[in-house]
Amino acid sequence: MESLKAVLSNHPFVRDLDPDHVEMLISCGKSARFEQGEYLAREGGPADAFYLIESGEVALEIHAPHQGATLVDKLEAGDALGWSWLVGPYRWHFDARALRPVNVIVLDGRCLRTECEMNHELGYQLLKRLSQVLEHRLEATRLRVVELHAVPV
């Protein structure tokens, strides 16, 4: 199995990050696996992790009254999951469920916040990358809402 450093360094979210910053991330990270059907996160639960997906597929879902789980987006290898670890009150806004077995790098949210406070350049670099994740998630959600409310022709 590849080392955490090698896997982390090659993930698109981290690629081109300063090697010292990668080392800081490694100090907050570990590898994990989720089997099909397992939840990585539950809406409203504590957002204490940031996931970098190595392999597999994750469904992002919201719960709508009288409809149950509604798919918002699917994530796969190379994607990042979670920004709520950065924004208080640190609660998940979606459910994240493994559609197939998923291998991830889990970065501890509290550790990341501490590292970002101590190293503002790292914080800035992560925030720039997280802004792209947020933009993608907002666009996926917008498109899903339009799809759900489209009037059949």
The answer to whether residue 138 scores a pLDDT higher than 90 is no
Assigned token pair, 22: 């990668």
Number of domains in the chain: 1
Task: Assess if residue 105 is contained within a domain.
Answer: yes
Is residue 121 one of the residues assigned to a domain?
yes
Is beta strand 49-64 parallel, antiparallel or unpaired with respect to 39-41? unpaired
Q: Which domain holds residue 32?
A: 4-148
Confidence at residue 153, expressed as pLDDT on a 0 to 100 scale: 66
In a domain, 153, yes or no: no
Confidence of residue 41 (pLDDT cuts 50, 70, 90): very high
Give residue 17's pLDDT.
95
Q: With respect to residue 78, please indicate whether it lies within any of the assigned structural domains.
A: yes
Within 8 A by CB and 6+ apart from 105, the residues are 4, 7, 8, 11, 29, 30, 31, 32, 51, 52, 54
Across 50-69, average pLDDT: 91
Establish if 55 belongs to a structural domain: yes
Q: Which pLDDT tens digit goes with each residue over 63-93?
A: 877 778 888 899 999 999 999 999 999 999 9
Query: CATH number of the domain that 137 lies in?
Result: 2.60.120.10
Average pLDDT, the chain: 92
pLDDT over 60 (residue 1): no
